[in-house]
Amino acid sequence: MTSTQSFAMQYIKWDNYRTKPIPDDILELIKMDYEESEKKEHPNYYMLQQEGSNQFVKSLFITLKPELISMIDLDKEVANFVKTLDWKDTSDLDNDVRFRQYMCTLHSVNVCVFEVNEFNKLASVKGYYAEPHDPRRITFGVVHMRKTYYFMPILTENEKADTSVFNYKDNPKFLQKLYDDAFPVEEMKVPSDLLKLKIDDLRGIACKLGLTTELISDKSGKVIKKKKRELIDDIMSTQK
């Protein structure tokens, strides 16, 4: 290990955190961009196992808020954050899909969740995206182990703050495949006069184009539906 550790890797010094190796089938996915180039050496990847509740939030905080490394009680800091949420149900944020999307837009990042089944095999890979959707945003990797219920951020030993991220420069194939799987392009003819359509019809077109119909309000922080003009602007942006 390097003498100057990254912010996130310093967590392994905590009693209730320890690193584990990445499962081979996950490693094969995230290594696909390095296989064709002998000059590119992929980093050493680790999963950071953490105890307690709200592990998905903690997985993001570890790299989004590296200053929390100096906090004695990260669980308390996360609990305080959860109290500030205007969220209908905070009892199981780890498994709340809409909350994952909310966090992405709130922090302007993407998140890739690797679902590992009870037999420790990769079952699925799901991407969650900030508004507007863009595969080139910084993407955080989190492994969800269903057998143990752990959510574990993926870390490397790089000497920088964003140690659990995939970036488009180094991982274009992996990130683009993740994005294309999440938003498959559907060939369709967009009506010429969108203003005449009802808002429900506009939402249907937006969904078929891989666009979202919701956003986070700047005033309230709540997830709200996009207005008609916003939907039209989003749809028209795909036609340029």
Q: Mind listing the pLDDT tens digit for each residue in 157-170?
A: 654 544 567 888 88
For residues 196-221, give the mean pLDDT.
82
* pLDDT, mean of residues 46-66: 83
**Higher-scoring residue by pLDDT: 73, 226:** 226
DSSP 196: G
Of 3-7, 205-209, 230-234, the least confident:
3-7
pLDDT at 88: 83
Which of 96-110, 128-142, 168-182, 215-229 is predicted least confidently?
215-229
**DSSP 8-state assignment for residue 192:** S
Angle between helices 228-237 and 199-208 (to 10 degrees): 30
DSSP-based three-state secondary structure for 77: helix
Q: Does domain 8-182 have CATH number 3.90.70?
A: yes
pLDDT at 116: 93
Listed in sequence order, the DSSP H helices in the chain are: 24-30, 55-64, 74-84, 97-107, 172-182, 199-208, 228-237
Q: What are phi and psi of 5, to 5 degrees?
A: -80, 155
Q: How many residues does the chain have?
A: 240
Please, what is the average pLDDT of the chain? 81
Residue 145 has pLDDT above 80, yes or no: yes
pLDDT beyond 90 at 112:
yes
pLDDT score for 1: 30
Sign of torsion, CA 40 113 67 8? negative
pLDDT digits (tens, 9 = 90+) for 64-96: 766 555 555 677 888 888 998 888 889 899 999
Percent pLDDT > 90 in the chain is 23
13 pLDDT band (50/70/90 cuts)? low
Task: Please say if the pLDDT value at position 4 is more than 50.
Answer: no
Task: For residue 33, give both structure tokens.
Answer: 């961009």
CB 164, CB 63: distance < 8 Å: yes
Rounded average pLDDT over 152-180: 78
The model's confidence at residue 155, banded by pLDDT at 50, 70 and 90, is confident
Q: Where are the domains of the chain?
A: 8-182, 194-237
Find the mean pLDDT for residues 109-137: 91
Residues near 213 by Cβ (< 8 Å), separated by ≥ 6? 203, 206, 207, 225, 226, 231
Average pLDDT over residues 48-55: 85
How far apart are alpha carbons 170 and 175 in whole angstroms?
A: 10
The predicted-structure confidence for 181-191, as pLDDT tens digits, reads as follows 888 766 667 88
Cβ contact 48:155 at 8 Å: yes
